[in-house]
Amino acid sequence: MAPFPVRAITLDLDDTLWPIAPVVLRAETVLGQWLRRHAPRTAERFPLEAMRALRDEVAREHPHLAHDFTRQRMISLERMLAAAGDDVALAQPAFDAFFAARCDVVHYDDTVDALDRLAARVPLAALSNGNADLVRIGLMDRFAFQLGAREHGAAKPDPSIFHAACARLDVPPAHVLHVGDDIEMDVVGAHRAGLRSCWINRDGRTWPHAALRPDLEFTDLAALADWLDAALQTDNAAA
């Protein structure tokens, strides 16, 4: 792959730095355990599948909150507690228990070393539709900032969140590389916003679009770090 100018990188989080499905399962399990201790009527009425069904119902009812997973979860908890006759004020400590577990992630094996290598080369910014907290997770020192859809007010693939990140980086979109696993949210979204794109394709999926392709495709972040090392060495040699 021919090198191109990269002055900053924006990175997706869930399923790019760590697998999200086991994290959510653990967090929901922790939430269920918390409810059994503090709101047993709610726990009995809303086992895991019922909890998930209500969460999906809330998402459908509130499309304007598609960028705000925290608020969706809080609405679900308030509704569960009220339906079971428990104190709705328990929604906040219940969410706190859930969120602590949600931030207890297990990184892909390549993540930390690759982030260290990338951050040594160019500024990194986290750009996520999820609500993971990099301070809690312990990765914030690798990043210039974290911009979430909830804080921004719109989610990927909306161009505005990409442009907001570029503005904070003070780098034109054409010189920013966005890295992520999601075909539509990350790759197509970045392309339409004028950024370069890197698809992290860990599971061998087939690219579905004929009209556009990612600028880069790798199976992990280590390969991206290798590419960036080589690209910057080429730039330095040319200079």
pLDDT at residue 54 greater than cutoff 70: yes
In a domain, 202, yes or no: yes
> Are 168 and 203 members of one domain?
yes
Buried b vs exposed e over 113-149: b needs ≥16 C-beta within 10 Å?
ebbebbbeebbbbbbbbbbbbbeebebeebbbebbbb
- 142 pLDDT more than 80: yes
Confidence bin at 232 (pLDDT 50/70/90)? confident
Q: Is 204 left (phi over 0), alpha (psi -120 to 50) or beta?
A: left
Tell me which residue of 133, 121, 130 sits closest to 235, measured CA to CA: 121
Taking only the tens place, the pLDDT of each residue in 116-127 is 999 999 999 999
Q: What is the Cα–Cα distance from 143 to 8, expressed in whole angstroms? A: 11
* Mean pLDDT, all residues of the chain: 95
Residue 170 lies in a domain: yes
Residues with a known catalytic role: 12
The number of domains in the chain is 2
Question: Whole-prediction pTM value?
Answer: 0.92
Of 2-11, 108-117, 181-190, give the lowest mean pLDDT range: 2-11
Domain that residue 69 falls in? 21-102
How much is the average pLDDT of 31-55? 97
Q: Is 11 exposed, middle or buried (0-12, 13-18, 19+ CB in 10 A)?
A: buried
* 57, 79, 102 - which closes a domain: 102
Query: Is the residue at 159 inside a domain?
Result: yes
